[in-house]
Amino acid sequence: MTAGRPGDDPVAAVSELTKRQVISARQLSGSLTEAVLDDGTTVMVKGGNGPGATTAEAAGLRWLAATGTVPVPAVRGHDVHWLVIDRVTEGRPDPVAAERLGRRLAALHAAGAPAFGAAPPGGPTDAWIGLAPMRNVPGTDWPGWYAEHRVLPYLRTAVDHGVLDHREAGTVERLCEHLPRLAGPAEPPARLHGDLWNGNVLWGPDGQAALIDPAAHGGHRETDLAMLHLFGCPHLDRILAGYQDTAPLADGWRDRIGVHQLFPLLVHAVLFGRGYARQAVTAAEEALRRV
């Protein structure tokens, strides 16, 4: 690192972006640093995964926060290299907090989006989900949009990388052809967190759960919930109970979980390899049995 250059030094970036002095800092990982400001506030500074990543995350956090539903860390500032947000104090998950999270997720989704694939205001078209690029291209028909902009791009990349063979890819492509019959009743675009796995749910000591690291966009609300199912989440049954009490899901939603998991599974196949690719094919096979 070169001290004093905000593009290289996270501590210098915090001072530049918050206009406050940093009194202490510690690096938590290669791209994440915790810093204490001269007013006593503790913030986190994150390096971007690639072009547009910090802009996309900052826009996503502000878009989610604007609903006044699920707590997210406040954005203190960002540039092309760094994002500075408030630190979320962590506690332990409990059933009451989980049910509250479910109700708040329902309200977040109900806040809506202009279109499927709509980026948050000020967010770039070329965004990210974790370490993978993700394009936000608007569409009006969820099955067609989901196939074209969420499933097939990662399927092609997985084939190109040798993670999936052409026969397996054909199974996922057939699933995409049948999506209009498998997608359930049409719903308006929901405001999604977009990368809602357990690691992005932080349980606070005050009985509230906060969400971090969004890949926010307009999508189908069942996609967020399918992500929670995919990687597990403490008290998931209570989260779903709170959600259903607030905004009941359409009949057959459990049968559609695998369809909505195709997107994150293929993203993980591209990033982490064959195990996730096989899970994606299995999800497609199971969904096709209902055709």
Tell me which residues are annotated as active site: 195
- β-partners of residue 132 are 129
SS3 state at 83? strand
CA dist 6 and 9 (Å) reads 5
Look up residue 110 and give its two tokens: 């109900």
285: number of CA atoms within 13 Å, CB side? Answer: 9
CA angle 75, 78, 79 (to 5 degrees): 170
DSSP character for 147? I
Pick from 3, 5, 17: nearest CA to 83: 17
Q: What is the DSSP letter of 119?
A: P
Amino acid letter, residue 231: F
Q: Give the Å distances, CA to CA, from 205 to 65, 92, 103, 173.
A: 20, 7, 19, 45
Question: Does residue 149 contact residue 139 with C-beta atoms inside 8 Å?
Answer: yes
3-state class of 37 per DSSP? strand
**Count of Cβ atoms closer than 10 Å to residue 206 Cβ:** 11
How many helices (H) and strands (E) the chain has is answered by 11, 11
Angle at 9 between CA 4 and CA 12, to 5 degrees: 55
Strand ordering across the sheet containing 42-47:
22-27, 32-37, 42-47, 82-86, 75-78
